[in-house]
Structure formats: C-alpha cells, structure tokens
A and B are shown apart, each in its own frame.
Chain A
Amino acid sequence: MLNIVWPIFIIISFSYAILSGNIDALNSSIFDSTSDAVNLSIQLLGTICLWNGIMKIANKTTMIEKLTKLLKPIMKLLFPEINPNSNIHKEISMNMVANILGLGNAATPLGLKAMKSMQKENENKDTLTNSMAMFIVLNTASIQIIPTTVIALRSSLGSSNPTQIVFQVWIATICAAIARNFCNKDIYKIFKKGEMTCK
C-alpha cells in the first residue's frame, strides 16, 4: 500500500513546493522530519519495551485460555455456524482474547491459524464463509483494553496526562464494534437477497 501512497505524497508535495516557491521551507522540513523520526523512536523505545515485556508474561501464563471461557456467550452470538466444542472455536476465542489484551504479536498468528482451519471446512474455496467474514471484520476492530501505542506516543510528545484518553477510546471502540456487528449482519442479508434474485 505504501508503495503507492508514499510516492504520491512525495511527488505532489515536492512539485507543489517548487512551483509555489516554498523551497527553503521544504529543505528545512526534510531535515527536521528525519530528526523527528529519530527522536520519536528513541522516546517510544522505553514504553514499547516495557509493555512488550509485561505482555510476554501474560502470554506465557494460562491467562488467555482462562479468559476464552468468558467469551463463550458472545461467541455463540457472533459465530452461530461454528461448533462450540471444535478447535476452530478455541482458536477464534484465543485470537479475540489476545486482541483485547493488546497482544498483537500473539493475536495475528492465532488469527491466521483460525482462518486456515475455517478454510478447511469451506466448501467454496475462493469465497469467504459467513464466519470467516465475521472473523475478519472483528479483527479490523481495535478491541484492546489499553491503547498502549497511543499512550507511548502521547507521553513521548510531552502530554501532561498520557493515559487520559483511555475512557474515550473505549467509548469509540464500543460504538464502532456495534456498528461493525450490525453492518456485517445487515449487509450479509442484502447480499443474500441479491444472490437469490440472481439465481
């Protein structure tokens, strides 16, 4: 994606700056930006290392497995087509718990594994099943309890209270998650109608 976006940014902004005679500002912004990147990375290092270390501890305990049990009622609602005693069910719930805890590194491999297991039972190999679609849409939601990266970013930029946004993030996440759920179900119905009329 960045292979397209990045050159567009460079070409548009550089040619606009040259055409509008803004070259001095452009020159100093080039050097400022590179040192900004260095400063930000150094300041992010501390928080990211700390959080990764803490999360590694969580990862090695049975915390994820225990928390998946709490998800059972939600899972039934979201994935009615999946057998609650199957392995797929377990993989999906573990991915969700890892996402909620903010264990990005653990969530992605679990999620890919769940996708592969679901694909095995998929009869139409080049089309997503309902459960797969729901699963992907859930993974595009940022359902983590603590938005660590943003907090790290805020503290590195000298915020007087970096964690103050946590509550607002929860509200926005919950609203988006509800929208996600409704969209998914309703758009699915529309699609189903379309497919039926096509036949």
Chain B
Amino acid sequence: MQVIGFISNLAMPMMILLIVIYGIAEKSKIFDTFLEGAKEGLEIVFTIFPTLVGLFVAIGALRTSGIIDLIVHFITPILNIVKFPSEIMPLAMLRPISGNASMAIATDIMKNYGVDSIFGTMASVIMGSTETTLYTIALYTSCIKVKKTRFVLIAALIADIVGIAVSVVVCRIMS
C-alpha cells in the first residue's frame, strides 16, 4: 500500500521535472512557453465556467428535490445484485454522455460524501479512467461525414462499463 501511494504521489512531480529538463535541453525560452500555456489554461476555465453554472444548478436541484433519492431507491435492489454502490450510479450513467455534467456530478458526490471517502475516491477514479465516449465518437465521425459507424459505439460503451466496474472494485480492495 505504501509503495502504491508513493508511486501515485511521485507521478506528477516526476513528469513536470522530466518535461522541464527536456525543455531546457531543447529550447531556450522555456518560461515564456510556460506562460503561453498557462494563459490558455485561463481561457479553458473561463469557457467551461458558464457550462458549470448551468449544470451545477440542474444537478443541485436534482439532489435537493429528492428525485435522485427516489430513483436510487428503485434501482438499489438491482444494483445490490451486482454489488454496485448506488451512490455512484448517477455518475456512471452520465459519464459517457457529457464531460462537464459528469464533472459536476463527481464534484457533488465528493462534496456530499467527502473527497477521501470511498465514494469520493470511486468518483475520482471513474473520472480519471474514462472519457466522454459519445462526444468523442460524434467528433471523430462528423469531421469526415461518415454515417455508418458499425460497432464503434457498442465496443466503446462495453469498455466504459468495464472501466467503471474496475474502478469500483479497485477502490474497494485498496481502501
């Protein structure tokens, strides 16, 4: 467990260090490049902010209205069969559909149950290990105007289910 925690913590600093050393070896104005990129980061946050406001209101309303509890209440018996925590279900359902909506839901889960709680960790791992499948497929097929996408959607969704299931299992084992 300690080794795993050490590797996890080491990954990010090591990568920054490597990139900076690599950058110095190849290019002189490394800090200018950094600033250029950081400025783009600012724009990213500004562009997602309106989406976040809209979705936070919708998801906050879903939770406080009690409708999520109602839905969870109905699907819990089914989820119990496969031992899937119903607290995570809203995230699992939205993850392939919308990146921003799933980010808002994940934030909601982390806040409600605690970031470092088992559900907070599961939500983090799910967010980190899966992509916005439907968006990706739409983007890549529409750019070349292909209509017949064959098996792509099914294969990607099955893989998403595997990713989410493994996230849950891994978090259970390691906590």
Instruction: List the interface of chain A (C-beta within 8 A of B).
Output: 1-2, 5-6, 9-10, 12-14, 16-17, 20, 22, 25-26, 28-30, 32-34, 36-38, 40-41, 44-45, 48-63, 105, 108, 111-112, 115-116, 118-119, 125-128, 132-133, 135-137, 139-142, 145-151, 153-154, 157-161, 163-169, 171-173, 175-177, 179-180, 183-184, 187-188, 190-191
Q: Which of A1, A49, A165 has the most CB of B within 10 A?
A: A165
Q: Say whether B167 faces chain A, with CB atoms less than 8 Å apart.
A: yes
The number of chain B residues with a CB under 8 A from chain A is 102
- The complex places the Cα of A111 from the Cα of B8 at a distance, in Å, of 29
Assembled-state Cα–Cα distance A33/B64 (Å): 11
Closest chain-B Cβ to A93's Cβ sits at a distance in Å of 16
Q: Say whether A172 contacts B129, CB under 8 Å.
A: yes
* Residue contact B163 to A187, C-beta cutoff 8 Å: no
- Asked if B79 is an interface residue, CB under 8 A from chain A, the answer is no
User: By the criterion CB–CB under 8 Å, are B159 and A17 in contact?
Assistant: no
In the bound assembly, the distance between CA atoms of A49 and B38 in angstroms comes to: 4
Give the distance in Å from the alpha carbon of A135 to the alpha carbon of B175 in the complex.
35
Using CB atoms, name the residue of chain A closest to B44: A48
Q: Which 6 A-B pairs have the closest CB atoms?
A: A56-B37, A147-B128, A176-B163, A52-B41, A33-B60, A17-B65
Report the nearest A residue to B171, measured CB to CB: A168
A166 near B137 with CB under 8 A, answer no
Report the separation of the CA atoms of residues A9 and B62 in the bound assembly, to the nearest whole angstrom. Answer: 7
Supply 25 A–B pairs (Cβ within 8 Å), ascending by A.
A6-B101, A9-B59, A13-B65, A17-B61, A17-B66, A29-B64, A30-B60, A32-B60, A33-B59, A34-B53, A34-B57, A36-B56, A49-B41, A53-B38, A61-B23, A127-B148, A128-B150, A149-B127, A153-B124, A165-B8, A165-B128, A168-B125, A175-B166, A188-B150, A188-B151
User: Do B20 and A44 have beta carbons less than 8 Å apart?
Assistant: no
Give the interface SS of chain B, mostly helix, strand, loop or mixed. Answer: helix
Query: What are the residues of chain A within 8 A of B126 when measuring CB–CB?
Result: 172
**Chain B contacts with A in 7-44, Cβ cutoff 8 A:** 7-9, 11-12, 15-16, 19-20, 22-23, 26-27, 30, 33-42, 44
A contact residues around B4 at 8 Å (CB): 167
Chain A: which residue is nearest B70 at the CB level? A16
Chain A residues near B98: list those with CB within 8 A: 1-2, 5
Choice from A139, A153, A184 contacting B155 with Cβ under 8 Å: A184
Chain B residues with CB under 8 A of A169: 124-125, 128-129, 167
The smallest C-beta distance from A100 to any residue of chain B, in angstroms, reads 11
| A149 x B103 contact (CB < 8 A) | yes
Q: How far is the CB of A105 from chain B (nearest CB, A)?
A: 7
Cβ-defined contact, B115 with A158, below 8 A: yes
Q: By the criterion CB–CB under 8 Å, are B146 and A126 in contact?
A: yes
Q: Does chain A have a CB within 8 A of B83?
A: no
Asked whether A49 lies within 8 Å of B42 as measured between CB atoms, the reply is yes
CB–CB A1/B65 < 8 A: no
A139 B140 Cβ-Cβ under 8 A: yes
In the complex, what's the smallest C-beta–C-beta distance from A187 to chain B, in angstroms?
4
- Specify which chain B residues have a CB less than 8 angstroms from the CB of A158 in the assembled complex: 115
Assess whether A128 is in contact with B152, with CB atoms less than 8 Å apart: yes
Determine the chain A residues whose CB is within 8 A of the CB of B27 once the complex forms: 57, 60-61
